Structure 1
Amino acid sequence: MLIFKSKSFFLFWNWTINPSYSIQPPPEKALELPKEWLTTDLEEQKSSKWGEKIVKQIYKLHIDEEMRNCEPEYTTLRDLKFWLGTWNVNGKKIDENINIWLTGSVTGKPTADIYVVGLEEMVDLTATTVVLEAQSQKRAGVWLEMVSNALNRGAKNDETSYVLIEHQILVGVFLSRDGRDDDDGCDGSIGHDGKQGRRCDPHEAYGQHGLLRLLASGGPSRERGGSKRGFPQVRARRWVNGRICDNIRFKTEDETFGILDHQLIFWIGDLNYRITSDVPTLRVFDYARDDLDYLLKKDQLKVSQRAGLAFEEFTEPEVKFPPTYKYKKYTTQYDKKEGKKCRAPAWCDRILYKTGDGASMDDIEVLTYDHIMKLSGSDHKPIFCEMNVRVKEYDPAKRKKIQLRIERELKKSENSAAKVHVELSGDEIDFGKLKYRTPERRTLTISNEGEGNAYFHFLPKAEDSHICKRLFNVSKAYGVVKPNEKLDIEMEALIDPEAAHELNGGHDVLHDVLVLRVEHDRDYYITMFGDYVMSCFGQSLENLIRMKAPARESSEISSNSPVAMAIPKELWRMVDYMMQYGCDSAGLWTDKGIEGEDALIRDMLDEGRPFEGIDVHSMADCLLDWFRALQSPLIPEKCTSRIEKGEKINSAFVDAFMNMMSPVRKNVFVYMIMFLRELLKHAESNDLTAEFLGMIFSQVFIVNASKKQQLSKEYRVAQEMVTELLIYLLKSTAQQLAGEVVAEDSGSEASDED
């Protein structure tokens, strides 16, 4: 598929070859039923016509599931070699021989099965070229000919040639896909909202390519160049990323799916990430020559990924080449201008990839990831990546035979006169004691004691597609059980932050009733329940400063209870541990903690036990989770809603901002700033920067927002400004926050009306 948005590309792939038979994926969450099954008419829901409709759907879904289970019987594995390249040509007409880019040498021959070429700024982005496509179309024709000539150079009649499968352009952005002529195939297309897309099947394989270019960042100073080089607008990048991934949908006769539903996704192009602003511009030139490893640690994309702000699920092959921007034209020298227009070298041009469900990173073997220094007609150098991707090749004859066998076995018991009767292993599911973020699972067994197929499905809640409360889940919401067979369904209960908020606030209880309908039998009622174990996670700050004892020993807290401390004791314990053992530790908030230690830390906090032998990285992760789980964010909406984009961050702004916070929030905020400053004193050993910490903690300080809110412009502006505020405070002197901690007593007002 091809998608354009400014200057970078996406490529999305499903590696199933010969997919003439559409196997629908299972729903993302079993507790949600297909929308077409829903009805608000209870009489219709009870009707035989509605039941027959559901049975037909379950029949088809069962066939799909069985086909997925039998997939190894009708597939073989093979490798496809991909070549992906991107080049910002800066609006210039390139007269150089691009054969060296595509094949590795001036006289080399292509070896990949599929070639994808992406160009940014193919023409100058003037008002004329934006409105009129003639120049872009003309330049695209030139590039198509150049690519074809390079791939088919010297090919003889008996040799495999390469053909253009598809290409698209949009306002100076170009993307083409060529493949061996026996790999041709493409169907379906979309184009809307400044983005264009196409879903393609190279060698009859499901696949997609796409394109998007991100604008250069302003960052804290909102200036691009010189010594004021700032951090990128990573929120904007996340916003663009999220909007595109959520809004672009593809349709076939049987299903609708999005970008992230594919098994292999590439995102390539001029992403415009620079070097973090704590490295002086002139020093960047030195590091670009002498110390790429150090410079990569300061690369904004790498920092953004580590902070979980952008492309966090994507992988980039190991970068072993120097920054690809900004060069003097027709040279291999960086453009080291004097003054404010000096642009520091940067890895603007990137190739990223990720795998989705049904695929593994083990299926991808990166062969080469490099740049081409000899091509010098632009201020960017082209980059490329070669990789082998293992794909599944279907045998249509075997697949059809297996499909007929599955259908035949199911139809054996398809008798409208046959009696249907099931027995359940029980009608009550007791999950026992439920701790925060600790899933508990139980099994419900359905036994078919009748003579016909038992088609079952859970009924949705009124006017909803969900079959149970969000804190519960089931592994299978519908299915079929053949006579004399049994089916196990896994039932799960999990207290996540949202569920904890509801339970702690008294807005929900750990109890629900599911209705299991067996067509041609009856409805069965299943009760699920459990006991919530109190935790300091998911509480409000106002409650936590009133809890003298550990959470598990605390009785119900009210707003009238006396304030026991200025900040929650659990926050102090986590920070104190990190101050003792973690100040010099590298990899804080980038390296993962020890698996399972997060639950141990929560137990130690909730039970008041001392920390023993805890990994500091586990503690660092737990600290973030504690902030994310707060019933309302540390920085409330009433503070962020008054922030205007572009406001100057200075002492007056800080004073006004903090005066909007309640005493407990101000105390926690100041406490965290002082802690993070202490970590920065050990930057030589822990490799932390103010920019990185600002990005990390801005996420958790205003985290309580829905996904839709997080993609809104207002939320994005708020996070950008909070990031800049944190960076400003972390770089300012300690005296600027002196005396800010508010002493509270039982008579002080600690609540915060958001």
Structure 2
Amino acid sequence: MSSFTGARSKANANSEMTKANEINLCPVNTSTITSTSPDTSAKNEKKKKSILPKIFGSKRNGRGSDEETLKTSSAEEGDGVTLDLENKIETRRKAFLEAAPIMRKSFSERESSPGIEGLNLSNFERPMITMETELQSFRIFVATWNVGGKSPSYDLNLQDFLLVEGSADIYVLGFQEIVPLSAGNVLVIEDNEPAAKWLALISQALNKPRNEYSDSSDSGTGSKTQSSSKESKSPASLNFFQKPSLKVISKNFRAEGSSLLKACNCPVESPSRERRRMRKFSDPMSKLDPELRGDDTVEELLSIAEIPSSASQSRYSLISTKQMVGIFLTIWTKKELVPHIGHLRADSVGRGIMGCLGNKGCISISMSLHQTSFCFVCSHLASGEKEGDELKRNSDVAEILKGTQFPRICKNPCRRAPEKIVDHDRIIWLGDLNYRVALSYEETRVLLEDNDWDTLLAKDQLNMERDAGRVFNGFKEGRVVFAPTYKYSHNSDSYAGETVKSKKKRRTPAWCDRILWRGNGIEQLSYIRGESRFSDHRPVCAVFSVDVEVRSRNNRFRKGYSYTSPRPEYEDFIPQRHSFYDY
């Protein structure tokens, strides 16, 4: 009986050993197993789990890839259960990656970031978005005016000068000699009060409600309207023009969030970034500068500039303004274009006294509108009508092209914002270029009386130097169909020299004030001069139609998906927290 019981126990032990070999993933020594116990089951469970680190090992832990680990495990074990487990894991892994196309990188390739406990956005591949561009036309009004060192009065009407009824998209206004070119202004302190006055008058002309436009009492930019005559008697207007500040006024004419204009706005694949950028722009006058919080000062500012009180009335915002002694350049755009402007930078080159001071030289402003780069150059070149003086002006242009260097601002490694003038897509050069007519005063007067402008223009130094390839290579100019713009007697339509006998005060009439351009996609619609008697120069204006590349976004969906609305970006669902979410 006892022998039968012992044989039966041994048979049960062998049966249990066989079952354990079928279940365990590791080989078992039969000599060590005599019976089944809880301790033995626990050891078997540990052996089962010992294979998991091998299966899910990573390079970070010094182990091989998933495939290598599985192959090694299969070779060592040679067990069908392990191969089946490998196939299941690989199948689920592929199904997971196919179901989530955004998460492309495998777990074994991902590196953890010790500084961020959460999502690492750099490990996500953005949805496939195709970037397409289309050309849109915009109108740019450009004007240059040498105001002869005179400060404007509060009743100077610029509405006719700016052709506001034409409603351009961008206004580029360049002035020369807004202050007298005295030693104090050149060497000591720059006087910016006249520039502040010009800004106020420009804002008045551009942002005045259309129903308040009235016909001028006489033609020309210096005419007065009845409404402006009444406003000129306002004490607030008078007080304002006694204490303007260029810094304060220009800050309050800009759009809120205008600091973003100086940032890189290269295309990004995430529309959520663009929406966050657009929300930071608002009405230019919605937030006045703290320096203008006083009731009297605010009333004076609003009175003289006639700044609209509501966003719907304000049509134009100040984009950029810069002064160098007497040279002054300012750019205004329609309010709706402000969010699409970026890469805003400015530079100046002095070519005056000792070849470096700012009584002569240029101001250049670089910017991008949508996907097209623009450069606007306002210059005042060397004066003189003696033979050989044109070479000085040629040298000024060469030094301006060489010396102008815009700071590097673009963060997109695939795209680089232009840093030199000639690198831009569209270039407009305006100013008092000071090129004269290579004829004597007497010969010029005879041709002017006969209205023989073709003969005069054939002797125009700028045309001659350009045709010879010595200056402004690649630049174009529209046909000149107006009389010479320099030099006029004070408050007169007569050229200087007609009413005086002294040859020292006599100047040969010339087309000193010019507007040129360079680049494709630019069409000049008009090229005229104004008839203001404000200074000894007549202003010159041009209207351009420019082609701008505007980016359009088309979403491409994967097969098997059917959406009736645009696919949301994953960034839209991430809460805006931490500094790395701000771009």
Q: Scaled by the length of structure 1, what TM-score is found?
A: 0.38
Which of structures 1 and 2 has the bigger CA Rg?
Answer: 2
Higher relative contact order (CA 8 A, sep 6+): 2
Q: Scaled by the length of structure 2, what TM-score is found?
A: 0.49
